[in-house]
Amino acid sequence: QVQLVQSGSEVKKPGASVKLSCKASGYPFTSYPINWVRQAPGQGLEWMGWISTHSGNPTYAQGFTGRFVFSLDTSVGTAYLQINTLKGEDTAVYYCARPGILDTFDIWGQGTMVTVSS
């Protein structure tokens, strides 16, 4: 079935980097873009941006430029989110999500919890 499977939880120290993965299956990977959404503990959903799985071109939402990097490995149908110079406020669940033909997010990964703590 169509699904996005994300990598497991991460615990990192401030200043470190982390790279999360989102593996797609059940559909042609390059037919739909991948979006990233952040949800801090007890907070709402924040759209971080998207990456074209066709061209590899990333687009970052306001507030997610500089330390956040979207990338792909189309050979294995996987999207990545790298966060550099981690800060405490990066502690959150990070979701990948796929827009369907209606452009709303019809498929979500299960989320990856990232904890940044010294």
Partner 1 sequence: DIQMTQSPSTLSASVGDRVTITCRASQSINSWLAWYQQKPGRVPDLLIYKASTLESGVPSRFSGSGSGTEFTLTISGLQPDDIATYYCQYYNSYPYMYSFGQGTIVEIK
End-to-end CA separation in angstroms for the chain: 40
Residue 107 to residue 38: CA distance in whole angstroms: 15
Asked if 62 is part of the footprint of partner 1 (rule: CB under 8 A), the reply reads yes
Site string for partner 1, 77-106 (x = CB under 8 A): ------------------x---x--xxxxx
Tokens of 112: 């990856």
Chain-centre distance of CA 56, in angstroms?
14
Asked if 118 is part of the footprint of partner 1 (rule: CB under 8 A), the reply reads no
Question: Which positions touch partner 1 (CB under 8 A)?
Answer: 33, 35, 37, 44-47, 50, 59, 61-62, 95, 99, 102-106, 108-111
